[in-house]
Chain A
Amino acid sequence: MALFNKQNKEVFASPLNLNNPIMVQVLGICSALAITSQLKPAIVMGLAVTIITAFSNVIISLIRKTIPTRIRIIVQLVVVAALVTIVSQILKAFAYDVSVQLSVYVGLIITNCILMGRLEAFAMMNKPWPSFLDGLGNGLGYAIILVVVGTVRELFGRGSLLGFQIIPDSFYSAGYVNNGMMTMPAMALILLGCVIWVHRSFFYKEEK
C-alpha cells in the first residue's frame, strides 16, 4: 500500500527514538519541563502537541506553494495559533481541571519550537500525507519523554500515578517519605539530563 511505504514508515518512526525531538533535536524543552510534575497533565499536553503538530503540518503542506517566503513565519504562526486556540477552548470545556493545571503552557504550544521546526524543515517541502505522519511521529516522540519524566516525578514526588496512590500505606508507616524535591522545577531539569544520558549511552555506541 502506498500510504505506508518504507519511506513513510521511516518518517513516522525515526522521531520516536533516534531522532527524538526533545533528546536529539533539542526542540520544545520549555513546556516539557514545566508540566511534568504529574502524569495526567503530561499525557494531555503530549496529546495536544501531537494533534496540533500533525494538523498544522497538513495545513501548511497544503498551502505551501501559495505562501510567499518573506512572510511565511507569520503565516505559520497564525495557522498554529488558530489550532492552539481551538484545542485550548476544547480543554476548557471538557477537562477544566487539567487546563487550569497547564495554565499558560497551552498557549505556549504556539511558540513550541517543535512546531516551527517541523513546519520549516518538513511541511514546507513535502506532500500532506508524509507531513501528517511526520507531525504525528514528532508529537508522539515528545509525548513519550513527557510521560517518562512525568511518571518518575509523580511516583517519587507524591507516591501516586494519575492521582491514584501506588506506594502502599505500610511503606509510609515504615518510615518512607515522599521526595518533595521531585515536585520542584529543578528536579525536572536534572531528570531530563539523566534521560538524555541513558539514551545516548545506549544508542550512540552502536554507530561508532
Chain B
Amino acid sequence: MEHLISLFFRSIFVDNMIFAFFLGMCSFLAVSKNVKTSLGLGAAVTFVLVVTVPVDYLLQTKVLDPLGLSYLSFILFIAVIAGIVQIVEMVVEKYTPALYDALGIFLPLIAVNCAIMGASLFMQQRINLDPNNTQYIGSVWDSIVYAFGSGLGWMLAIVSMGAIRERLQYSDVPKPLQGLGITFILVGLMAMAMMCFSGLKI
C-alpha cells in the first residue's frame, strides 16, 4: 500500500510526463490554448492510459516474456493502443454521448500521442527494477496506479499551461517569439519549477 501511494505521487510530480520526459508534447502544444479543451484532452489521455497500460502489462508479463518475444513489443503495444482507442471511442459514443461530444476529436488523436506509448514502454522497463525502488511496477495494481498518476500529471501540466496561455493573450511578446517560441520558454520555466519536487518521498 505504501508503495502504491509513493508510486502515485512520484508519477504525478517527479516523473511528470511533460516536464521530465517531454511525452505528448505535440498535442500539449497544439491543444493548450484554453482551459476547457485542455481539461477535455487531459481527461481523455488519463482515461486511455488507465485502460491501456494494465493491458500492456499483462501482455508483457504473461505472453511476451514467457515466449521470449519481447522484441515484438513495439508492434504489439501500438496495435493494442490503436485498437483500444477505437473501442473506447465506440463505447463512449454509444453510452455517454455527452462525454463523446466533450472529448470530440481528441479521442482518435490519442492513438498517436507519445504519452500513451511512452507510459507502456516505461512500464516495460520498470518491471525489471529492484522491488524496493519506488518506480518498480510489479503487479497489475502498480501499473494501474502508475497510469492514473501519469495521466493526472499530464492533465495538471496541460491545464496550467492552458490557463497561462489564456492570460498570455494580453501581454506584449516580441514578434518572432510569439506563439510557439514563448510557449517553449514557458514550458521550460514550468519544468524548472517542477524540479523542486525531485527527491520527493512519501
Residues in B with CB closer than 8 Å to A58 are none
Task: Decide if A196 touches B112 in the complex (CB within 8 Å).
Answer: no
A71-79, A125-133, A135-143, A154-162 - interface stretch: A71-79
Residues in B with CB closer than 8 Å to A34 are 21-22
Q: Which residue of B lies closest to A23 (CB)?
A: B180
Give which listed residue, A29, A73, A82, A193, contacts B25 with CB less than 8 A: A29
A-B contact count (CB 8 A): 135
A30: CB under 8 A from chain B? yes
Task: Decide if A26 touches B122 in the complex (CB within 8 Å).
Answer: no
Size of interface on A: residues with Cβ below 8 Å to B: 44
A204: CB under 8 A from chain B? yes
Main secondary structure of the interface of A (DSSP, over half): helix
Task: Decide if A107 touches B22 in the complex (CB within 8 Å).
Answer: no
Chain B: interface size category: 35 or more
Binary flags per residue of A73-103, CB closer than 8 Å to B gives 1, else 0: 1100110011011001100000000000001
Residues in B with CB closer than 8 Å to A81 are 74-75, 78-79
Residues in A with CB closer than 8 Å to B195 are 184, 186
Task: Decide if B79 touches A107 in the complex (CB within 8 Å).
Answer: no
Task: Decide if B82 touches A186 in the complex (CB within 8 Å).
Answer: no
Task: Decide if A84 touches B74 in the complex (CB within 8 Å).
Answer: yes
Residues in B with CB closer than 8 Å to A85 are 71-72, 74-75
A9: CB under 8 A from chain B? no
Give which listed residue, B122, B176, B181, B187, contacts A104 with CB less than 8 A: B122
A residues sitting closer than 8 Å to B (CB atoms) are: 23, 26-31, 33-34, 73-74, 77-78, 81-82, 84-85, 88-89, 103-104, 107-108, 110-113, 116, 184-190, 192-194, 196-198, 200-201, 204
The 9 lowest CB-CB distance pairs between A and B, nearest first, are A193-B184, A189-B188, A190-B188, A201-B176, A186-B191, A200-B176, A104-B121, A193-B185, A29-B25
For this complex, 7 residue pairs linking A to B, each with C-beta atoms less than 8 Å apart, are A31-B22, A77-B79, A108-B121, A184-B191, A188-B188, A189-B191, A193-B188
